[in-house]
Amino acid sequence: MKPTHIEHIGIAVKSLDEAIPFYEKVFGLKCYAIEEVADQKVKTAFFKVGDTKIELLESTDSEGPIGKFIEKKGEGIHHMAFAVEGLEDCLKDAEAQGVRLIDKQPRKGAEGLNIGFLHPKSTFGVLTELCEAPK
């Protein structure tokens, strides 16, 4: 596996309505997309910083992954995502090297990307997402 760049950093927030103006006013960034990913029970907002994106994540259900994360840990960095080529092979290779996977097969994520998560127990406490643009 050879990531090409950090695709995005995911930040869990209680409210996009409060967080978006902060990133726009304080950092001068522009929110270019807001999207709901219903199967992940999350609403996302994206900002571009160079080649990297910031993804704000607001739970749409307290029992969803972001809702549970905020309940347990509070707002903050939720995950780091790497852009890769050959996502399915990357997941297989990671598993072959003993990495615990959350997703054994790619699935659809925000912005139309194919995604797969590596378990934080195998990545030194960092929930790690691998992303690939569909072909």
% of the chain at pLDDT higher than 90: 96
In this structure, the number of other CB atoms found within 10 A of the CB of residue 12 comes to: 24
Q: What is the pTM of this model?
A: 0.92
- Average confidence (pLDDT) over 77-95: 97
Confidence of residue 43 (pLDDT cuts 50, 70, 90): very high
Q: Alpha-carbon distance 80 to 57, whole Å? A: 13
- Average confidence (pLDDT) over 5-27: 97
CATH number at residue 37: 3.10.180.10
Q: Which residues contact 54 (CB under 8 A, 6 or more apart)?
A: 8, 9, 11, 23, 29, 46, 47
Nearest residue to 60 via CA among 89, 80, 40: 40
**By residue range, what is the domain housing residue 103?**
5-132
- pLDDT given for residue 9 in this prediction: 98
Q: How many domains does the chain have?
A: 1
Q: Which residues contact 74 (CB under 8 A, 6 or more apart)?
A: none
- pLDDT given for residue 135 in this prediction: 81
Express each pLDDT in 99-133 by its tens digit. Answer: 999 999 999 999 999 999 999 999 999 999 999 99
